Amino acid sequence: MRRSIWKSVPAVLVLLAYSPPAEAISRTEIVARAQEWVDAKLLYCVSTKGAYDATCKYTCNRQDNPAWNGYFSDCSGLITWAWGLPESQRLYTGSIAPYGGNKSFVIDAHDLQPGDALNDRSDPDGDGKLHHHVMLFGGWKLPGKVAIILQESGCGKVANRTEMNVQYVGEKLQVGQYSYHAV
């Protein structure tokens, strides 16, 4: 008869080692959370509220909301917030599939559902300058042709919801000049 290792581990240590899974969040809730930033016209910041944003070269003076004050309000910050991840698990385009991390995985663009993301971190011009942007897929206006996108798109801009012409390119989705991985 084998002796279980757990019999010799104090219960307190077992509880400390156990980390319960995050609560499930519905696709509807994901899109609604992103829409909160759109409705608030939340200013793009690669920093938290009140901090200096070295990328945009301004202090992040955006709306005060304790629920999202600790989040960057850039493109990946919007995804972090919408997906219900805590500030401490902040995503970056490079930490979202297929480029890294363990919070997401690539899917075929034909399988996109509201609440999924579109991620690109490519060098389309071959000049060494990465295009790095991630957007939330809000659904289809016209399946396979016109997508509803929620995003934080750059310095001086605010979160927005827009309809974009798209096309399938293999397993990716072409949006403008960029080809995005569906995640």
Secondary structure of residue 85 in the 3-state scheme: coil
- Residue 34's pLDDT is what? 98
pLDDT at 126 over 80: no
Q: CA dihedral defined by 24, 29, 33, 36, rounded to 10 degrees?
A: -160
Q: Which of 156, 119, 161 is nearest to 138 (CA)?
A: 161
Contact 80, 101 (CB under 8 A): no
pLDDT in tens, 47-77: 999 999 999 999 999 999 999 999 999 999 9
- Residue 142's pLDDT is what? 97
Q: How far apart are the first and last CA of the chain?
A: 46
pLDDT at 122 over 80: no
Predicted TM-score of the model (pTM): 0.84
pLDDT in tens, 139-175: 999 999 999 999 999 999 999 999 999 999 999 999 9
Q: What is the mean pLDDT of the chain?
A: 86
Lowest mean pLDDT among 32-36, 102-106, 152-156: 102-106
121 pLDDT band, cuts 50/70/90, is: confident
- Residue 12's pLDDT is what? 35
Tokens 């897929």: give the residue.
137
- Residue 172's pLDDT is what? 95
Say which residues have a Cβ less than 8 Å from residue 154's Cβ, sequence separation at least 6: 44
- Residue 22's pLDDT is what? 52
Cβ of 171: how many Cβ atoms within 10 Å? 14
Cβ of 46: how many Cβ atoms within 10 Å? 18
Secondary structure of residue 175 in the 3-state scheme: strand
